[in-house]
C-alpha cells in the first residue's frame, strides 16, 4: 500500500510539475500582451503591435504544450485516484468542467483570432481578442484554484450516506476565504515568470546587439511589470495566503516555518536552518526574534503553536520537504524584489541598457521564477498532506486499489521519456522564435 501511494503521488507530482511550467507563463504573458496592444492603440507606434504579436507566438507555443501535458492529469483522476474522484467528483467536477467548457474554449478560440485575424478584424477588435485570451487564461486559473482551495479548506458541502461529498451551497465554493488570496498570489507569481522572461529576452537582444530596439522595449516593460508583481506576490497576497495557512492549517504552518516546539511570548522567524526530524529541532539556524508572531498576528508576543501541539497523525508527511520548499520560494522572492529594484533604479537613471551586470543577471535569472513557482505549489501540496481534502479525506483513502504500483511506475517512466522529448521540442521551437526576433510591420 505504501508503494502504491508513493508511486501514485510521484507520478501526479511529476506530470503536474511539468505541466505547470507552461500555464504559469501564459497567464502572466497574456496580461503583458494586452498591455503591448493597448500601447499600440494609444500611440500608433507599430513596435508595440509587433511586440504583442511576437509574444503571442510564444504564448501559443506554451498554450499548446500546456494542453498536451494537461490531458494526462485528467485521466489520472480516473485511474490512480478513482476513489478520490468518486467521493469528491460532485464538487470538484463542477469547477473542472467549467474550466474546460468556458475558460479553455474562450482562450483557445480567441487565440486563433488574434494570431490570424488582425487584417480581417481591424485593430480594435484585434485588441478585444487579445483581451479575451487574457480573460480566458485568468478565468482558467481562477477555476482551477477554486478546486484547489476547496481541497485545502472545504466549505459548502455535505456528506451523503454513501460517503460522497456534494455541494449544498454553490456560492460558498466561490466565496471560500482560501480562494482569493491563493488566486492573486498565484497570478502574481505568473506575472513574475513572464516579466523575467520578457526582461531576460530583452537583455539577450541588447547584449547580443540584435533587435536592440525591441530589446530595450522588452527590458523596460519586463522590469516595470517585474517590480510590481515581485512586491505584490510578497505583500499583500503572500501575506494573506500565509495567514490562511496559520488559521486553517496550523500544523502545516508550523512545519513550513520549522517550529517544533510552541513558542510563547513571541515566535522567531527562521531565515536559514536545517530540520532535524530525529531530535525535532532546527539545526544551524539563523533567526530574528518575535518577527513571525508580528507578521502573523500583528503582535510581537503572539503564541505560534509548534508541531508538538498536534497529534503526529496530522503532521505534514514530509516536514523537511515542506520547510525547504517554502524557504526556497520566499528566498527567491526576496532576490526578485532586490534585483528588480536595482534594475528600476538604473532604468530611471537612464543607465539600465548600459549596466551589463544587471542585463546578465536578468538573463540568467530566467529559470528561477519557474523554480520559485514550483516551490510555492509544493509548499501548498506538502502542507496539506496527509490529506487529499484537508481534515476530511486522507490520501491513503483516495487511491485506486486495483492499479498496482508496478503499473504506475511503468507509466511514470513512459511520461518521463515522453516529456523529455516534448521539453526538447519546446526549447527548440521557442529558441527558433526568439532567435528570429519580432517581425516589423507597417500599419496602414
Which tens digits make up the pLDDT trace of 211-259?
999 999 999 999 999 999 999 999 999 999 999 999 999 999 999 999 9
The CA distances from residue 164 to 76, 170, 319, 400, 402, in Å, are 19, 16, 30, 16, 20
Which tens digits make up the pLDDT trace of 425-439?
999 999 999 999 998
Quick one: CA dihedral 222, 57, 367, 241, positive or negative? positive
Q: Record the pTM.
A: 0.96
Give pLDDT, residue 103. 82
Dig out the grid coordinates for 187 from the structure: 497570478
Q: Is the peptide bond before 386 cis (omega within 30 degrees of 0)?
A: yes
Question: Between residues 136 and 266, which one has the greater pLDDT?
Answer: 136
Contact between 55 and 198 (Cβ < 8 Å): yes
Mean pLDDT of 187-197: 98
Which tens digits make up the pLDDT trace of 288-339?
999 999 999 999 999 999 999 999 999 999 999 999 999 999 999 999 999 9
Contact between 161 and 198 (Cβ < 8 Å): no
Dig out the grid coordinates for 363 from the structure: 538573463
For residues 40 and 54, what is the distance between their CA atoms, to the nearest angstrom? 14
Dig out the grid coordinates for 309 from the structure: 501541539
Which tens digits make up the pLDDT trace of 66-116?
999 988 888 898 899 999 999 999 999 889 888 887 888 888 889 999 999
The CA distances from residue 121 to 38, 116, 124, 159, 275, in Å, are 16, 10, 8, 51, 59
Give pLDDT, residue 440. 86
For residues 416 and 234, what is the distance between their CA atoms, to the nearest angstrom? 33
Q: Which residues contact 208 (CB under 8 A, 6 or more apart)?
A: none
Asked if the model's pLDDT at residue 3 lies above 90, the reply is: no
Asked if the model's pLDDT at residue 444 lies above 50, the reply is: no
For residues 316 and 294, what is the distance between their CA atoms, to the nearest angstrom? 24
Q: What is the mean pLDDT of the chain?
A: 94
What b/e string do you get for 136-175 counting C-beta neighbours within 10 Å, with b at 16 or more? bbbbbbbbbbbbbbbbbbbbbbeeeeeeebebeeeeebbe
Contact between 304 and 254 (Cβ < 8 Å): yes
Which tens digits make up the pLDDT trace of 116-156?
999 999 999 999 999 999 999 999 999 999 999 999 999 99
Give pLDDT, residue 130. 96
Amino acid at each position: 500500500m505504501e508503494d502504491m501511494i508513493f508511486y501514485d503521488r510521484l507520478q501526479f507530482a511529476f506530470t503536474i510539475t511539468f505541466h505547470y511550467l507552461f500555464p504559469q507563463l501564459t497567464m502572466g504573458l497574456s496580461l503583458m500582451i494586452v498591455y503591448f496592444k493597448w500601447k499600440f492603440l494609444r500611440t500608433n507606434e507599430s513596435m508595440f503591435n509587433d511586440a504583442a504579436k511576437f509574444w503571442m507566438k510564444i504564448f501559443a507555443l506554451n498554450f499548446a504544450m500546456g494542453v498536451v501535458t494537461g490531458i494526462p492529469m485528467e485521466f489520472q483522476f480516473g485511474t490512480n485516484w478513482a476513489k478520490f474522484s468518486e467521493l469528491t467528483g460532485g464538487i470538484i467536477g463542477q469547477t473542472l468542467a467549467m474550466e474546460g467548457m468556458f475558460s479553455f474554449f474562450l482562450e483557445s478560440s480567441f487565440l486563433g483570432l488574434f494570431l490570424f485575424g488582425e487584417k480581417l478584424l481591424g485593430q480594435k477588435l484585434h485588441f478585444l481578442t487579445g483581451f479575451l485570451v487574457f480573460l480566458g487564461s485568468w478565468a482558467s486559473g481562477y477555476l482551477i484554484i477554486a478546486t484547489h482551495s476547496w481541497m485545502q479548506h472545504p466549505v459548502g458541502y455535505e456528506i451523503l450516506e454513501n460517503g460522497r461529498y456534494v455541494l449544498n451551497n454553490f456560492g460558498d465554493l466561490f466565496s471560500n476565504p482560501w480562494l482569493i488570496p491563493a488566486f492573486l498570489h498565484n497570478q502574481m507569481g505568473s506575472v513574475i515568470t513572464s516579466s523575467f522572461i520578457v526582461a531576460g529576452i530583452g537583455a539577450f537582444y541588447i547584449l547580443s546587439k540584435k533587435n536592440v530596439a525591441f530589446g530595450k522595449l522588452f527590458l523596460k516593460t519586463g522590469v516595470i511589470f517585474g517590480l510590481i508583481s515581485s512586491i505584490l506576490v510578497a505583500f499583500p497576497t503572500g501575506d494573506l495566503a500565509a495567514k490562511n495557512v496559520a488559521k486553517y492549517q496550523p500544523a502545516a504552518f508550523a512545519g513550513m516555518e520549522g517550529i517544533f516546539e510552541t513558542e510563547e511570548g513571541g515566535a522567531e522567524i527562521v531565515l536559514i536552518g536545517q530540520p532535524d526530524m530525529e531530535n525535532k529541532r532546527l539545526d544551524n539556524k539563523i533567526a530574528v526574534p518575535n518577527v513571525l508572531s508580528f507578521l502573523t498576528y500583528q503582535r510581537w508576543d503572539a503564541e505560534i503553536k509548534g508541531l508538538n501541539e498536534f497529534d503526529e497523525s496530522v503532521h505534514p508527511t514530509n516536514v523537511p520537504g515542506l520547510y525547504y520548499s517554502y524557504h526556497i520560494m520566499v528566498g527567491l522572492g526576496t532576490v526578485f524584489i532586490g534585483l528588480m529594484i536595482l534594475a528600476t533604479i538604473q532604468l530611471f537613471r537612464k543607465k539600465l541598457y548600459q549596466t551589463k551586470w544587471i542585463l546578465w543577471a536578468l538573463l540568467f535569472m530566467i529559470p528561477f521564477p519557474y523554480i520559485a513557482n514550483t516551490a510555492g505549489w509544493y509548499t501548498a501540496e506538502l502542507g496539506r498532506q496527509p490529506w487529499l481534502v484537508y481534515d476530511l479525506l486522507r490520501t491513503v483513502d483516495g487511491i485506486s486499489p486495483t492499479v498496482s504500483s508496478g503499473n504506475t511506475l511503468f507509466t511514470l517512466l513512459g511520461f518521463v521519456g515522453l516529456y523529455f522529448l516534448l521539453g526538447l521540442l519546446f526549447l527548440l521551437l521557442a529558441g527558433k522564435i526568439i532567435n528570429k526576433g519580432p517581425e516589423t510591420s507597417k500599419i496602414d
